[in-house]
A and B are shown apart, each in its own frame.
Chain A
């Protein structure tokens, strides 16, 4: 009996010391190996008197379990300790920079074109395109601007031949003509694209972007025109209220014609759209001139509608606070990085124009 207790005390003591896996295995075999103390004690069982044997066996088993358990526990502890110390050694400085990030950018003009397309898509417009090189018929004559019309002087045109028949389009309006010639009414289109005028200074670039709008149907009137533009401007600038002013003007291809101003104020040198008592011209529009409809074989007694032209670069400047038009086209890496958009920021109907 006392032998058992002795073994127990002795080994519990050993196991409480600072051990590694090897020394534990050593202890394990000292106890439970073929010649181990516990094993030996079991062998001695047979030599004991019957009346003692039962109790001894029971005590021995108890001690055996206790030691066994203690050993397992210690092994577990050591393993945890060892893995922890291993991980501790593998530690890195996580504040070091991550691997290289490549981040591309979408040009503000492209982003704004996508915004515009998304807004007009919501009210059923589809996108049409036309060539950058036009002939004078599509750019002027078919748009009710005959050769002797002084309005032609207002377009500083780039010509591609000496006869002045081929040119770079001065506006996106020729797309109206091309669209109507190849289809049948009703028409409900926008046409964004590059436009060109031989004009270059701080506020004019020889190339810029316009979006044309055209809606022709049986009963489209100026109220629809106003509603459409009101909806567009509000959606584009992401404001609830907008001050808008329609000012009579003149374009040969619309009658009546108007220019549209929006209200703004200057706050800390920045333009704030929608408030204030200053006016900013942002687009031209009107009811498509009956002569234009006749030129594309549409009877103006049956069909009528509106058209508009908006400067895209101008819209981008206003919305995103860009001061210099020329910078749009100068490919300054710093500028592109600053004013560019993440390619994942795709403007759409359901997720909105921006975050």
Chain B
């Protein structure tokens, strides 16, 4: 919503300064986006001085001038004027400017082999006089200190640009803004001068509103103006239109626009000679078409509100007019429309046809149904003033009376919500200034809501009116109380924050990526999840919700590899999606690692990252989060995007069906398909939702402290087992032989190759044996040794290596 202070003052009698008005606008909720002059094409014309003028090398009649336009460097301009000479002050037009005389747009161009940056202008080219023999000569006493300044003064007024919230259609007109300011104490709202125009008789074109179901038009006001001379608008009107950044078209169109901007009262002017007999406001029928003023042909559906005549559709009521009945410069007779269209109908039609116009924007938010005659009056008055003509009586068709909405308002509600008290008198004054009719009954007000305020429907809206007019700075700051109703974080949230920092502490950088991704990448990781398409994606490569954390991590891994990084550790904690319904999402922490450990380190052997790095980070994270390492169980099963032989899944317990995490090297096919060039690429995923309720509170997690001071003994064993036999099972077999004696089992070597059959491997273990009751004697140790060997051999088919 744009307007000038001058325009505002046509409605508001005020002594406030510009900056006070600006401040107050924001204070009452009409946010000022900017307050500045509209830049004009004429700003491109500068006062310039010719520093040097030389003969053009390839043309006798041209000169090449060095021109000072107040910038650091002079510019080369080719000029054909005989009077172009050193030290002359003249007018320079830069590239992009439009020469007033012939509307030619300047560009940087080569003239006979010499590049010319702009042009020096004659008075004729600037429309200053008919003098076209040479370039403008400016008097040095007046212009010598103005080199580089604009030659033309920008006479346009500063323009206020307001951002109007959707609930305030009334402030889409200057008068509405003035009313709010007046209520807030910035002067007095002027009365609209109600000059009754002499009418020349009845409006002779019959208008009817059909009683269709869901008729979108409830009132249609009109008048005929005969014998007008349509022309360009006078300067004052043109200036107003231009200052708002719009283009003047013709007096009639400009006047209807002006009234709309002034009173928020959209109007439409028809060339009445082009109307076939009568106006019928009705619902459209499927398949009807018309050409709108935006020069597009629209095909209508059933039940759109149209203005039609005997031959067909003229326009879409309240949205856009048609070319068939549009006014032109030779239009003699016009029919002026001022109507009320229901917001719901406007919104529905414009959405279906995808049309956005100024009128639509306003009707959609709600126009004052009582502004019909004021609008006709003001427009007709201006048209007769500027274009002449005779105005008919106003014709008013309506199928529904304008309802005066009333509400009851308990004055105490204000203090209850706002937290401070106002005198009843003050409350009443504010409401009256805003246009309410107020009658007071004890502590309750009966209010008639102004017809221009469709947003006000209940008592709480009245509270808002009073608070915003009075100003938010009257609200007292009440210090917050520190009482707590429940814990800040629940268990699952604590786990989230813990895991987030636990993974970072292992050297990973946390990232946050979109919840959506490229379906092509997602397909590599989606497994059995459903693809969830976004109907209106921001771009075709962000077209689905992610089914996994990995698509984006892989994508950004590649980007960072391209930046020259090799050893990358990234993770993200966030949602992945199973379906397109609320709640069908899982919280996952996913980490990836690429490249080498200890690259370029002077005293550590470097090596590629591998599956056991991913496993370590997964297991350590789970242990830190409070899960018992001895209960964790590993299986080989993992999603297809992992290396099938170098990946696994983690279960909180051997008997669990759902894994809580996966880890492993990423499948080489994925790297190939995504063209990721790295020496090694591993990853892990932990599913927070599956980690539920396994964790004791810290206070319950410490069992009784027990220890043994008796001597402990270490024994080493090497077993030859089937290649596929799991180390985890071997440890499990040994640990469960006698838990009171076997304190720990450590694998310190795995060997395949010479001296071992091809389908076998050797696993070397160290077992710590300690009793909590006595020092074990050699015979005790021998017994347990034998037991370990015999049990392992029976249960696993292993052979002790001799």
Q: B497, A133: Cβ atoms under 8 Å?
A: no
**B-facing residues in A239-293 (Cβ within 8 Å):** 245-250, 255-259, 287, 289-290
Complex formed: what's the CA distance from A289 to B481 in Å? 23
A99, A107, A123, A127: the one contacting B480 at CB < 8 Å is: A123
Inside 8 A of B57's CB, which chain A residues have their CB?
none
Q: Does A30 contact B (CB under 8 A)?
A: no
A344 near B: Cβ within 8 Å?
Answer: yes
- The interface centre, meaning the residue of B476, B480, B487, B533 with most chain A CB atoms within 10 A of its CB, is B480
Which residue in B28, B484, B573 is a CB contact (below 8 Å) of A124? B484
Please tell me which one of the listed residues A188, A222, A336 contacts residue B510 in the complex, with CB atoms under 8 A apart: A336
Docked-complex contact A131 and B585, CB < 8 angstroms = yes
- A60 to B559 CA separation, bound complex (whole angstroms): 90
Residue of A nearest to B468 (CB): A248
B95 to chain A, nearest CB (A): 26
Residue of B nearest to A230 (CB): B477
Supposing A134-B582, A194-B575 touch, asked if A223 and B478 sit within 8 A by C-beta, the answer is: yes
Does any Cβ of A come within 8 Å of B458's Cβ?
yes
Chain A residues near B773 (CB-CB < 8 A): none
A245 neighbours in B (Cβ, 8 Å): 472
CA of A148 to CA of B214, assembled, Å:
15
CB-contact partner of A104 in B473, B504, B536, under 8 A: B504
Q: Considering the chains assembled together, what is the distance between the CA atoms of A154 and B582 in angstroms? A: 22
Stretch at the interface among B126-134, B310-318, B413-421, B693-701: B413-421
Partner-contacting stretch, out of B163-171, B254-262, B646-654: B163-171
* Residue contact B535 to A124, C-beta cutoff 8 Å: no
Cross-chain contact B482 with A194 (CB below 8 angstroms)? no
B538 in contact with A200 (CB, 8 Å):
yes
Shortest Cβ distance from B569 into chain A, in angstroms?
Answer: 7
- Select the residue from A129, A164, A247 with max chain B CB neighbours within 10 A: A247
Q: Does A103 contact B (CB under 8 A)?
A: yes
Among listed B598-606, B726-734, B749-757, interface-contacting one: B598-606
From A102, A114, A150, A290, residue with most partner B Cβ within 10 Å? A150
Asked if A346 is an interface residue, CB under 8 A from chain B, the answer is: yes
Contact in complex: A117, B477 (CB < 8 Å): no
Task: From B219-227, B283-291, B459-467, give the one contacting chain A.
Answer: B459-467
Among the listed A110, A134, A331, which residue makes an inter-chain contact with B560, where contact means beta carbons less than 8 Å apart? A331
Q: Are B509 and A231 in contact (CB under 8 A)?
A: no
Specify which of B419, B487, B493, B533 is in contact with A222 (CB 8 Å cutoff): B419
Q: Given contacts A109-B512, A247-B472, A290-B460, is CB(A159)–CB(B536) below 8 Å?
A: yes
- Asked if A135 and B478 make an inter-chain contact with CB atoms under 8 angstroms apart, the answer reads no
Give bound CA distance, A48 to B213, whole Å.
Answer: 152
Q: How far is the CB of B1 from chain A (nearest CB, A)?
A: 14
**Is the CB–CB distance between B534 and A331 below 8 Å?**
no
**Chain B residues near A117 (CB-CB < 8 A):** 488-489
Residues of A within 8 A of B563 (CB): 332-334
Provide the residues of chain A in CB contact with B501, threshold 8 Å. 106, 343-344, 346
Task: Name the B residues within 8 Å of A138 (CB-CB).
Answer: 582
A149 at the interface (CB under 8 A from B): yes
A231 to B479, CA, bound (A): 7
Check A97 against B417 for contact (C-beta < 8 Å).
no
State A168–B458 Cα separation when bound (angstroms). 31
Chain B proximity of A309: nearest CB distance (Å)? 15
Q: Is B590 an interface residue (CB 8 A)?
A: no
A125 within 8 A of B: yes
Let me know if A336 and B489 touch, CB within 8 A. Answer: no
Check A132/B509 contact, CB under 8 A, given A160-B534, A247-B472, A250-B168.
Answer: no
Contact A166-B580, Cβ < 8 Å, known A126-B487, A129-B493, A131-B585 = yes
Please name all residues of chain A whose beta carbon is closer than 8 Å to the beta carbon of B573 when the two chains form the complex: 110
Of all chain A residues, which has the CB nearest B577? A133
Residue among A219, A222, A331 with the highest chain B CB neighbour number at 10 A:
A331
In the complex the two chains form, what is the Cα distance from A256 to B512 in whole Å? 35
Write out the residue numbers on chain A whose beta carbons fall within 8 Å of the beta carbon of B473: 246
Cβ < 8 Å to A, chain B residues 271-301:
none
- Are A343 and B504 in contact (CB-based, < 8 A)? yes
Q: Which of A31-46 contact B (CB under 8 A)?
A: none
Query: Which residues A120-154 have CB closer than 8 A to chain B?
Result: 120-127, 129, 131-135, 138, 148-151, 153-154
B302 at the interface (CB under 8 A from A): no
| B537 close to A (CB within 8 Å) | yes
| Chain A hits for B581, CB < 8 A | 133, 135, 166
CA–CA, A230 and B476, complex, Å: 11
Considering only residues 492-510 of chain B, those with a C-beta below 8 Å from chain A are 493, 497, 500-510
A186 within 8 A of B: yes
> Are A223 and B580 in contact, with the CB atoms below 8 A?
no
B532 in the interface, Cβ–Cβ < 8 Å?
yes
Does any Cβ of A come within 8 Å of B12's Cβ? no
Residues on the B chain within 8 Å of A159, using CB: 534-536
Per-residue contact bits, chain B 577-599, to A (CB 8 Å; 1 contact, 0 not):
10011111100000000000110
| Any B CB within 8 A of the CB of A1 | no
Q: Decide if B644 is an interface residue (CB 8 Å cutoff).
A: no
Q: B112 within 8 Å of A by Cβ?
A: no
Residues of B within 8 A of A160 (CB): 532-535, 545, 580
- Contact flag A224-B480 (CB < 8 Å), given A132-B515, A149-B166, A343-B505: yes
- CA of A173 to CA of B482, assembled, Å: 24
In angstroms, how far is the closest chain B Cβ from the Cβ of A241?
13
Residues of chain B contacted by A149 (CB below 8 angstroms): 166
Query: How far does the alpha carbon of A272 sit from the alpha carbon of B349 in the complex, in Å?
Result: 48
In the complex, which of the residues B26, B487, B511, B560 contacts A247, with contact meaning CB atoms closer than 8 Å? Answer: B26
- State A221–B483 Cα separation when bound (angstroms): 17
List the B side residues contacting A23 at CB < 8 Å. Answer: none
Q: Are B166 and A110 in contact (CB under 8 A)?
A: no
CA distance A120 to B165 in the complex (A): 30
How far does the alpha carbon of A96 sit from the alpha carbon of B603 in the complex, in Å? Answer: 10
Q: Bound state CA distance, A337 and B510, in angstroms?
A: 9
The answer to whether B463 touches A104, judged by C-beta atoms less than 8 angstroms apart, is no
Residues on B with C-beta less than 8 A from A198 are 536-538
A164 to B351, CA, bound (A): 13
**A334 CA / B467 CA spacing, docked (Å):** 48
A158 beta carbon closer than 8 Å to chain B: yes
Whether A90 is near chain B, meaning CB under 8 Å from some CB there, is no
With beta carbons under 8 angstroms apart, the residue of A100, A122, A259 that contacts B601 is: A100
Complex Cα spacing A189 to B130, Å: 75
Q: What residue in chain A is nearest B497 (Cβ atoms)? A: A114
User: Given A150-B166, A248-B464: A104 and B472 within 8 A (CB)?
Assistant: no
- The reply to whether A247 and B29 form a contact with Cβ atoms under 8 Å apart is yes
Q: B536, A227: Cβ atoms under 8 Å? A: no
**Given contacts A106-B510, A158-B537, A333-B565, is CB(A186)–CB(B482) below 8 Å?**
no
* Residues in A neighbouring B477, C-beta threshold 8 A: 223, 226-227, 230
Chain A CB within 8 A of B514 CB: yes
Are A258 and B472 interface neighbours, CB within 8 A?
Answer: yes
Which chain A residues lie closer than 8 Å to B552 at the CB level? Answer: 331
* Least Cβ–Cβ distance between B588 and chain A, in angstroms: 13
The 11 listed contacts between A and B (C-beta, < 8 Å) are A96-B603, A99-B603, A104-B507, A107-B510, A150-B347, A161-B535, A194-B574, A259-B31, A330-B556, A336-B510, A344-B505
Additional A-B contacts beyond A99-B603, A224-B478 (18; CB < 8 A): A97-B601, A104-B510, A106-B501, A106-B504, A123-B482, A124-B481, A127-B489, A133-B545, A206-B516, A206-B538, A221-B419, A222-B417, A224-B480, A227-B478, A246-B475, A248-B27, A248-B29, A255-B463
By a beta-carbon cutoff of 8 Å, the part of chain A in contact with chain B is 96-97, 99-100, 102-107, 109-110, 114, 117, 120-127, 129, 131-135, 138, 148-151, 153-154, 158-162, 164, 166, 168, 186, 188, 194, 196, 198-200, 206-207, 219, 221-224, 226-228, 230-231, 245-250, 255-259, 287, 289-290, 304, 328-334, 336-337, 340, 343-344, 346
Q: Which B residues contact A (CB, under 8 angstroms)?
A: 26-29, 31, 165-168, 343-344, 347-348, 364-365, 416-420, 458, 460-461, 463-464, 467-468, 472-473, 475-490, 493, 497, 500-516, 532-539, 542, 545, 552, 556, 559-560, 563, 565, 568-570, 573-575, 577, 580-585, 597-598, 601-604
